[in-house]
Amino acid sequence: MPTGPSLPDTERTSQRLLVKLDSGSVPIDVHSIARLWTGLSIIEEDIDGPGYLLPLGSLGAEIIIRQSDPVERKRFTIAHELGHWVLGITCERKTGKFEQPAGLRHDTIERWCDAFAASFLVPRQLLVEYFRGIDDQLLATHLLAAPRHFRVSEDAMFLHTYEVLRMRIAYFEPRSSKILRAFVPDAIAAQMERAISLPSIRDWLHLETFAQKIEVDSTWFTCCWNRLSRSGRSLIVLNPLSRSKPPISRPTP
Ligand SMILES: [Zn+2]
């Protein structure tokens, strides 16, 4: 069966680029990409949208970003447009023309560039290292500090942490035990609602910090949360237990 046009793996693509940029630490220096491609420049302007890539033919391209955006938003826009640039030069190598891959929906390419940007700014290996050896009691606090560490928005950070580590993250209101904002697919958000309505959890919702192993839908998680003093809402994390349960020994027949 013939396969349609496909896009490269976002993680491998960003990883290769980070090696070329010699970026072994965070926050990733997004402006260093202009050193790798001298024809690529980053320009801040007073524009309506967050940004776009302006190809300049043989001269290269300009990444235009919105001047008024916060630094985290600007960094994500640069990384997203870098995704378009990488796709463009990959096409150019094959067909001789700088363009976005043909035969794919616009939103497919946009989603690819978002995923590329997230793995470029929050590389898998550095994310794994960031959480290595962190106590259950400190997990929520450590997670809350992650956006500043990687210098990305909380949205980008938490969504990517689910994608890479399968940590389910949400804000909830302890009084109503309702999820206010979940950084996971809808079905997973429903699972988080079930977690905070478990009898073993309900009694503890008033606590400012919490960490305990719980079972939801036959899967074991470390469940922890932190109450944010300003808003009164809590950040909850369901972290799947990586250690597999000891195998059940069966008598040999
Ligand atoms: Zn785009």
Cα 234 to middle of ligand 1, angstroms: 33
Q: Give the chain's end-to-end CA distance (angstroms, integer).
A: 47
| Ligand 1 midpoint to CA 3 (Å) | 24
Residue 248 pLDDT class (50, 70, 90 cuts): very low
Centre of ligand 1 from the C-alpha of residue 82, in Å: 9
What is the side-by-side order of every strand in the sheet holding 61-66?
Answer: 40-45, 61-66, 51-55
The alpha carbon of 252 is separated from its chain's Cα centroid by a whole number of angstroms, namely 47
Q: List, for residues 103-151, the tens digit of each pLDDT value.
A: 999 999 999 999 999 999 999 999 999 999 999 999 999 999 999 999 9
Phi/psi region, residue 215 (left: phi>0; alpha: psi -120 to 50; beta: rest), is beta
Separation of CA 87 and ligand 1 centre (Å)? 11
Phi, psi of 205 (to 5 degrees): -60, -25
Distance 35 CA to ligand 1 centre (A): 22
Q: Which of 75-84, 174-183, 238-247 has the highest mean pLDDT?
A: 75-84
pLDDT at position 24, please? 78
Q: How far is the CA of 211 from the centre of ligand 1 (A)?
A: 39
Q: In which band, very low, low, confident or very high, does the pLDDT at 252 lie, cut at 50, 70 and 90?
A: very low
Q: Are 74 and 49 in contact (CB under 8 A)?
A: no
Tell me, what's the pLDDT at 134?
Answer: 94
Q: Give phi and psi for 172, each to the nearest 5.
A: -135, 160
* CA quadruple 108, 125, 39, 98: dihedral sign: negative
Q: How far is the CA of 98 from the centre of ligand 1 (A)?
A: 15
Residue 139: predicted pLDDT: 96
Q: Distance between CA 76 and CA 67 in Å, rounded?
A: 13
Characterize 175-212 residue by residue with b for buried, 16 or more Cβ atoms within 10 angstroms of its Cβ, and e for exposed: eeeebeebbbeeebeebbeebbeeeebeeebeeeebbe
Ligand 1 midpoint to CA 106 (Å): 9
State yes or no: pLDDT of 84 exceeds 50.
yes
Mean pLDDT for 7-17 is 96
Q: What are the pLDDT digits (tens) for 143-160?
A: 999 999 999 999 999 999
Q: Is the pLDDT of residue 247 over 50?
A: no
Q: How far is the CA of 30 from the centre of ligand 1 (A)?
A: 17
pLDDT-based confidence at 230, cuts 50/70/90? confident
Residue type, 27: P
* CB count in 10 Å sphere of residue 90: 16
* Distance from the alpha carbon of residue 165 to the mean position of ligand 1, in angstroms: 25
53 close to 84: Cβ distance less than 8 angstroms = yes
Q: Which domains, ranges and CATH numbers included, belong to the chain?
A: 10-121 (1.10.10.2910), 126-240 (3.30.450)
